[in-house]
Structures are given as C-alpha cells and as structure tokens.
Amino acid sequence: MANNHDEGGADHGGRLDEATGVHTVGHEWDGIEELDNPLPRWWLMLFYVCILFAIGYVIAYPALPGRHSATPGMLGWTSRGTLAAETTAADQSRAAVRAAIAATSVEDLAKDPKLLRAAIEGGRAAFKVNCVQCHGSGAAGGKGYPNLNDDDWLWGGDIATIHQTLEHGIRYPGDDATRMSQMPSFGRDGILTPAQVQDVVSHVRVISGQEKPSASSNRGSAIFAQNCAVCHGANGEGGRNVGAPKLTDAIWLYGGDRATLTETVTNARYGVMPAWGQRLDPVTVKMLAAYVHSLGGGEATPAAPAAEAAAPAAPAAGQ
Amino acid sequence: MNAPDPKLGARAEPETKQLYAKRVPVFPRKIDGAFRRFKWAVMAFCLIVYWGTPWLRWDRGPFAPHQAVLIDLAHRRFYMFAIEIWPQEFYFVAGLLIMAGIGLFLVTSVVGRAWCGYACPQTVWTDLYQHVDRLIDGDRNAQMKLQNAPWNAEKIGKRALKWSIYLLIAFMTGGAWIFYFDDAPSLHHAFWNGTAPGIAYATVGVLTFTTFALGGFMREQVCIYMCPWPRIQGAMLDEKSLIVTYKHWRGEPRGSLKASQKRVEEGLPPLGDCIDCKQCEAVCPTGIDIRHGAQLACITCGLCIDACDSAMAQIGRPRGLIDYCTLEDAERESHGEADTPILKTIFRPRTLIYFSAWAAIGVGLLFMLGTRSRLALSVAKDRNPEYVQLSNGSIRNAFTIKVRNMEDRPRPVVLGFSGVPGAKIYSDDMEASAARGDLPMTVAADTTRRLRIYVEAPKGTQPAAVLFDLKANDQEGGHDESRTTFTTAEGNGQ
C-alpha cells in the first residue's frame, strides 16, 4: 500500500499513521515504515558545531593532501615532531639516572640498589642490541662464546673485571689495553706430535672426570706439566690473568669431548671480543657490566684491591 | 500523477512541515503525594550518598589510605570500607556490575522504568534543577509567564540568579566526582590551592559543563533522544510489569463535571471519571500526556498519579484513575474482571529467575570475599636460557617470582620448593653460598615483592615437575602455591 505513495510530493510522501498522528516518510522496507518526526533542533546545532570544528581542525592541523605532502596546518604539528619530543622527553627523564651512574664507580653501584636496578635494566636493553649476536638473547652463549649466566669466568667475574673486559675487549687489535693471550697451536706448529696431543687430551679428560686414568693419560700428565701448566695451572685450575680456562670443571667453551679437545690442542683457539669502550658511551658500558654481573654468576668484588692478579679463586658463586 | 486519494486528505492541505523541531520547554507544576514524597526520599538519599561518601573515613592502619570508599587508580587499589580490591580481583567489580545489570532487569520486569523515574542521575539532577526553577521563577504558570516575557531587568536578574545556581550545583556535582579518586580532604585543599593535578581540574570542568547542560537545559531531551535505556527497557517490559497506566475504561469519555451533569439531566449516561483537568500533563517532568498510553518519553515517576489522585479527591471520586497497573490487568479491568493478585504479579517465573541469578552471583561473591587469600604467589620460569650448567656440574634454573601481600601490614613468609631432591634455592639479593631448602623473607604491607630465584640441583638431576609453595609465617597464616618445571640437559637428547 505504501508503495502507492512513494512517488508523492517532496514534503512528505507518506500516509498518516493513525496511532501516532504523524506522517510516514513514504518509504517502505518489507513492511517497515519510518515516521517523519522532526529532528530536535539542538541536534542540528551540534551538527553545525561539528562542521565548524572540522573547519578549524583543517586550518590548525595537517589535513588536505597535496602531491607530496599535506597542508602543514597553522599549529605546525607533525607526527615526527611528536616522536622527537617524546624521545627527547624520555632522554631527559633518564638524564638524572645516567648522570648518577656516570658519577658512581662500577664497584659502588651495588651500594645503591635503586641505581643498580636502573643500571641492570639499561644494560639489559643495550645487551639486546649489541651483545646478543654472539652471546645469545639469554646470554647463554654458544660454542666459542661464553655463557654469561654461569659461575665460570675466563678473565674474572667480579663487576670491575667484567667492566674492564667490556671496555677493552679481548684480543681486540684496536685497543692497547685489550686482554691479550694466545695459546700455541701445539699440533699444527709441530710442538707436539699427534700421539702426544692425544696423550694430553687423555690427561685433560681425566682431570675433568670424564675418563679413567690410563697409560696415555699418564704420558699426557708429563707433557701437560711441561707445556700447559704455565697457563692452565699445574692441576688444570686455569689462570685468569691470561684467560686460560679451568680444565677440571664441567664447563667447556668449545667442547670437552675427545675430538673437540684434539682440535683445540692441535690448532689452538683465539676468541675475540670488541672493545666496547670504543663503540659505546661509558655509562652504557657500566650498565652492561652491571647486567652481565646480575645474570647469576657474578662474583663479589675481591677484598684486596689488586685489580686482576693471579688470585685464582675469588669465592665462586654457586659452589 | 496527483490522482486524488481519499486517504491522503492531509497531503492536500498546505502544511508547513518543519524538518527540525525546537524544544518545547516543560514547566512541571509542583505536586504533593505519595510518589512525590518517595521521589524526594530517593533524591535525598542519592545526593547525600554521592556528596557524602568520599568524606567517610575508615581506619586501615599505617600502610593504607583512610578513605572509606576510594578508587586509587594511581596505585591500582580499590577500597570499599573493609574490602580492598587489587586489579587481579577485579572480577568482584565485574560481579557487582553484572548484579547491577540483572537487578535492573528484575526491577524493570516488576515495576517498569523505576530506574528512569527515581534513581537515574539524569532524573535526580533534572528534578533538583526543576526545584531551583520553582524557587527562583515560581510555579508552572509564573515560569511560563517569565519565559514569554521580554528581556527586562526582572527577567535578566532572575535568569542570572537561576543560572548561577545551576552552575553552582553543576560545579559541586563535577567537583565531588574527583574525591572518589584521591584523599578527599587533601585533594579539596589542593584544588583550591591550584596544586591539584591537571586532570582533576579537567574532570571537574567537563562534569560541571555536562551537569549544567544536561540537568539545566537538556533535561527530558536526554531521555527521549540520547539515552538508549528507554529502548532497552521497553523491550524488557512485559504484560505483567507494573507501569503507569491511565485507566481509559474508567476515565472516558472525558469531560467536565458540568458537562457530565448536563448529560445526566438529558437522560444520557454520565461521562467518565476523567474531568480533563490536565493536571497529569501539568506535573509531568517530561511534558507528556499519560492518557495517550505507555510511551517512550514516560519515565514512570508516578507524579501524574499524585496529580490525578488529588483531583479525584477534590471531586469525591476514588483514587487511581491513573495508577500503576499491568497491561494484563488493564485488559481484565476494562472487561470488568478483578485484578490478578499483586503477589502473583510480582512473584512470577521471570522475576524469580532474575532474582535467583542475582542472588546466586551475590552469594558467590560473598563466598569468594570470605575465602579469598590475601597472599598470592606467581612463578614464571626463565625460558632463555632454560637451564645453566655450573662449573661443578650442578644445574641451575632461574625463576621470577612475585609474592603479593594484600594485607595492610608487613608479613613474614616462607617460600618453599619441592620436586627435585637435593635442590637448594636462593634469591638474587643473597649469596649463593647461603642457599638452603627454603627461603624466608618479609613482604612489605600492601605490595608485590618481585624476586629472581635460583634453584640449584645436583649433577645428574632429571627434568621434573616442581612446586613452589608460599606460607605466611604469622598467626593469621595463609598459603599459596604454583606449579612449574625444572629443566636440565638430561632427557633433552643433549
């Protein structure tokens, strides 16, 4: 029925709805019709206010697209500007903490737990950017790259020593104060015969508890005393002054099986770490030291201020 | 094209149809009666609760705020008298909101839009502002007269005074809101000092403006055009819900007493009880005529019942020409049958189901409140690395634990560990050499203590399911536990 009225006039095309006394708009959808009630005028006013707001917005903010960029807007607002402002604000909010870390020696960080906490978190962030490529995102290392969570340290695990290692690197050509040592290639350079190498390997596997003593290991013991003990110690306890690993424990940087040990003794190893003091600012290096020290294997600062003497066993964590 | 259609007679008239309608102001007349008094009481209750609650104090000891009702967003705590809720326990609030929802279903299915009529803030504040109108401008007729009067000194003065009072009420309304979110006395002090946070001033500003606009000027427009609730409630009513009803079978045909008298003299039957005095329209806060039947704009405040009752009393007819009545009873009454007993109307399956659901949630919440632990433990195992091989061959796993002490006092607790024989635990703020089977510690009042825990197990330990358990070491006691795993190289094919 309502269809009859669809072609009606412009005012209202509909019929009079008896229940309400209001005309319908004249359209009908599956029997559903719409009453032609006037909209409240305040609603219309709100609509105009919205239009005015939109005009103001277009003037004040970037809005109209052009070929290469939009109109700049009178306020000069940009999303890049917002980002820059937020970044600056974040840097400024960190400035006080960074200044405090800069003013504190790395050994004294632990005296201020809040500062230490901040340093550790800063170090965690820097580690994710600079260190994970070799040491892994959990600092668990890999073959040739030390696990920083454990209690075994090549050069020492107190925070000052870690800081020194970070600052100057290991066997890093560009830093005069870098940690330097080199194991001879006993097999390749003909210092030891292949058979002697096997004997030394047997001995190392015996002192690390992986093999029972044998004739080979007995021979190796003598060779070890002559060739290896000067760095690794008479009993294979290692030497931190030259970064010589302890050979009696359960942790192997490259592997403790016979094949890997043979490879190590024959060709030697020469692990390198950059001197981070050349690449990062001093505060970040300090924060990295605090973070690495916090991973579970950090050692207490030795009572004697001797920086990195041969003092082999600072009270090792976890033992 | 323009074929004459008898049904379109109206179209032929030159109508000046407006696309937009100006608001027709409503000037409700003052009325007294049972519903008006009830509305007074609800209004007083709501306003006193709203303005008074933040100022109530509640002693919680030295470690917690002393405001009885406080939504401490900054510290993520919600205090309500003896109850303190942490964000983890937000389900209590969710439960209350669900109860409020079902409670509205229940009330609406029994007595219609009682919420709209009495308790909705829009109704309460509109009512308050309408009283201000009467106080300054006088009752209905005086208000209408002033509305149509030219802008002379008197009108300007009265308007300025009235709108100032509007603004004052709006400011007090917006101002009170912020006190629910911070210590009321100190925030009040800071507010006038200019040292309160910017968000406090912004909140007060926005709420002052909305109260001023919605309560002072928009009023019934909010109910009719903005609020979705009338539509929802319309769908929740049924034929057994009590709604404000004009009993047309008793009132019609309407007409004055004189006209009725005349008809009787002429030997015709008298007119209906409705004397067409239009008092029901005059008192209506949304300006409708209830005699058109149930409608969207009717907030069921019952003021028209009061108005009609007083009119009926004056002409010596029984009250209740306009009254709360169900659609079903309206049908029955109009056929001369008796009403359904009121108890039968109220206690019907629908309302009983609503009530059961409402009560069940309430009882459940109370039970949970009574049995909830104020001590909680959560453990997250380090997954990177999963385990660390130590130089003496033992295996170390690390866990990040959180101990939540939700009491307002420091508590001694003991963290235990079981599942790996020979395992020792220590935290990152102690020496590994001090590791032992369990870990006693103190958790400060109303805080979460976060600790990194190391568990060291002897060489050769197999992977195992393990259990951390936390016990309070004080009189009150309390216990929580968390299951996790201990990972080793063994059994991993390594």
Which residues sit opposite B77 in a β-bridge? B72
pLDDT at B137: 93
Is B3 inside any structural domain? no
Domain that holds residue A287: 94-174+280-294
Is A121 inside any structural domain? yes
Of A9, A37, A150, Cβ closest to residue B389? A150
Q: Which residues of B touch A139 (CB under 8 A)?
A: 385
H/E stretch holding B80? strand B77-80
Mean pLDDT score of chain B:
90
Q: Can you tell me the distance from the alpha carbon of A270 to that of A131, in angstroms, rounded to the nearest whole number?
A: 18
pLDDT at B432: 81
Report the SS3 class of residue B387. coil
pLDDT at A308: 44
Q: What is the average per-residue pLDDT within B247-266? A: 90
The segment with the largest mean pLDDT, out of B10-14, B236-240, B489-493, is: B236-240
Closest CA of chain A from B7, distance in Å: 7
Report the SS3 class of residue B112. coil
Closest CA of chain A from B351, distance in Å: 31
pLDDT at A199: 96
Is A70 inside any structural domain? no
Short-list B199, B179, B207, CA closest to B49 = B179
Annotated binding-site residues of A read 131, 134-135, 183, 228, 231-232, 273
**Residue B123, both tokens:** 């109704």
Nearest C-alpha in B relative to A12: B11
Q: Are residues B62 and B180 in the same domain?
A: yes
Q: Are residues A129 and A200 in the same domain?
A: no
Which residues sit opposite A202 in a β-bridge? none
Q: Is residue A7 scored above 90 in pLDDT?
A: no
Domain that holds residue B132: 34-235
The identity of residue A187, as a single letter, is G
Q: How many domains does chain A fold into?
A: 2
Is B29 inside any structural domain? no
pLDDT tens-digit map of A114-154: 999 999 999 999 999 999 999 999 999 999 999 999 999 99
Is B23 inside any structural domain? no
SS3 letters for chain A?
A: CHHHHCCCCCCCCCCEECCCCEEEEEEEECCEEEECCCEEHHHHHHHHHHHHHHHHHHHHCCCCECCCCECCCCCCCCHHHHHHHHHHHHHHHHHHHHHHHHHCCHHHHHHCHHHHHHHHHHHHHHHHHHCHHHHCCCCCCECCECCCCCCCCCCCCEHHHHHHHHHHCECCCCCCCCECCCCCCCCCCCCCCHHHHHHHHHHHHHHCCCCCCCHHHHHHHHHHHHHCHHHHCCCCCCECCCCECCCCCCCCCCCCCHHHHHHHHHHCCCCCECCHHHCCCHHHHHHHHHHHHCCCCCECCCCCCCCCCCCCCCCCCCC
- A154 and A264 in contact (C-beta within 8 Å)? no
Radius of gyration of chain B (CA): 34
**Residue B292, both tokens:** 């058109």
Among the residue ranges A74-83, A193-202, B209-218, B469-478, the one predicted with the least confidence is: B469-478
Q: Are residues A147 and A287 in the same domain?
A: yes
CATH number (domain holding residue A128): 1.10.760.10
Q: Are residues B231 and B283 in the same domain?
A: no
Q: Are residues B87 and B179 in the same domain?
A: yes
Q: Are residues B170 and B221 in the same domain?
A: yes
Q: Are residues B79 and B209 in the same domain?
A: yes
Closest CA of chain B from A79, distance in Å: 24
CB contact under 8 A, A5 and B392: no
Q: What is the DSSP letter of B475?
A: S
Is A199 inside any structural domain? yes
Q: How many residues does chain A have?
A: 319
Percent of all residues in chain B with a pLDDT value above 70, rounded to a whole number: 96
pLDDT tens-digit map of A260-319: 999 999 999 999 999 999 999 999 999 999 999 999 888 888 875 544 444 444 444 333
Interface check B20 vs A, CB under 8 A: yes
Nearest C-alpha in B relative to A150: B390
- B176 and B50 in contact (C-beta within 8 Å)? yes
Q: Is residue A223 scored above 80 in pLDDT?
A: yes
Q: How many domains does chain B fold into?
A: 3
CB contact under 8 A, A9 and B432: no
Q: Can you tell me the distance from the alpha carbon of B329 to that of B242, in angstroms, rounded to the nearest whole number?
A: 9
pLDDT at B492: 53
Nearest C-alpha in B relative to A153: B391
Banded pLDDT at A11 (limits 50, 70, 90)? low
Interface check B335 vs A, CB under 8 A: no
Q: What is the DSSP letter of B67?
A: B
Is A219 inside any structural domain? yes
Q: What is the average per-residue pLDDT within A95-121? A: 94
Percent of all residues in chain A with a pLDDT value above 70, rounded to a whole number: 91
End-to-end CA distance of chain B: 92
Which residues sit opposite A158 in a β-bridge? A299
H/E stretch holding B37? helix B34-52
Nearest C-alpha in A relative to B385: A138
Between A186 and B14, residue with greater pLDDT: A186
Q: Are residues A160 and A210 in the same domain?
A: no
pLDDT at A232: 95
Which residues sit opposite B269 in a β-bridge? none
Banded pLDDT at B387 (limits 50, 70, 90)? very high
Mean pLDDT score of chain A:
89
Report the SS3 class of residue B402. strand
* Contact residues, B window 366-385, toward A, CB-based 8 Å cutoff: 382-385
Q: Which residues of A touch B455 (CB under 8 A)?
A: none
Is A211 inside any structural domain? yes
The identity of residue B60, as a single letter, is R
Is A53 inside any structural domain? no
pLDDT tens-digit map of B62-115: 888 999 999 999 889 999 998 999 998 999 999 999 999 999 999 999 999 999
- A142 and A136 in contact (C-beta within 8 Å)? yes
pLDDT at A80: 93
Q: Is residue B490 scored above 90 in pLDDT?
A: no
Burial class (CB in 10 A: 0-12, 13-18, 19+), A158: buried
Burial class (CB in 10 A: 0-12, 13-18, 19+), B167: middle
- B442 and B411 in contact (C-beta within 8 Å)? yes
Is B491 inside any structural domain? no
* Contact residues, A window 255-294, toward B, CB-based 8 Å cutoff: 294
Q: Are residues A105 and A240 in the same domain?
A: no
Closest CA of chain B from A74, distance in Å: 25
Give Cα A167 to chain centroid, integer Å.
18
CB contact under 8 A, B11 and A9: yes
Is A40 inside any structural domain? no
Interface check A135 vs B, CB under 8 A: no
Is B206 inside any structural domain? yes
Interface check B390 vs A, CB under 8 A: yes
A24: left (phi over 0), alpha (psi -120 to 50) or beta: beta
Is B171 inside any structural domain? yes
The identity of residue A222, as a single letter, is A
pLDDT at B231: 87
Is B357 inside any structural domain? no
Short-list A292, A264, A27, CA closest to A162 = A292
Choose one of B220, B235, B250: the last residue of a domain: B235
Q: Is residue B8 scored above 60 in pLDDT?
A: no
pLDDT at A318: 37
pLDDT at A310: 42
- A208 and A236 in contact (C-beta within 8 Å)? yes
Q: Which residues of A touch B398 (CB under 8 A)?
A: 149, 296
* Contact residues, B window 55-114, toward A, CB-based 8 Å cutoff: none
Q: What is the average per-residue pLDDT within A148-165? A: 94
* Confidence (pTM): 0.79
Percent of all residues in chain A with a pLDDT value above 90, rounded to a whole number: 75
Report the SS3 class of residue B1. coil
Q: Are residues A151 and A200 in the same domain?
A: no
Q: What is the ipTM metric for this complex?
A: 0.77
Q: Are residues B231 and B126 in the same domain?
A: yes
Q: Are residues B267 and B209 in the same domain?
A: no
Q: Are residues A117 and A153 in the same domain?
A: yes
CA of A155: how far to CAs of A143, A172, A312, in Å?
Answer: 17, 15, 10
CATH number (domain holding residue B402): 2.60.40.10
Handedness of CA A204, A205, A211, A215 (dihedral sign): negative
Banded pLDDT at A259 (limits 50, 70, 90)? very high
Interface check B21 vs A, CB under 8 A: yes
Q: Are residues B162 and B141 in the same domain?
A: yes
* Four-point Cα dihedral B32, B33, B34, B37, nearest 10: 10
Is A179 inside any structural domain? no
Q: Can you tell me the distance from the alpha carbon of A168 to that of A179, in angstroms, rounded to the nearest whole number?
A: 7
Q: Are residues A231 and A261 in the same domain?
A: yes
Which residues sit opposite B442 in a β-bridge? B412
pLDDT tens-digit map of B197-237: 999 999 999 999 999 999 999 999 999 999 998 888 888 89
Closest CA of chain A from B316, distance in Å: 33
Q: Are residues A224 and A163 in the same domain?
A: no
Q: What is the average per-residue pLDDT within B275-301? A: 92
The identity of residue A208, as a single letter, is S
Q: Are residues B205 and B249 in the same domain?
A: no
Taking one residue from A and the other from B, the number of pairs with CB-CB distance under 8 angstroms is 108
Is B24 inside any structural domain? no
Choose one of B235, B269, B289: the last residue of a domain: B235
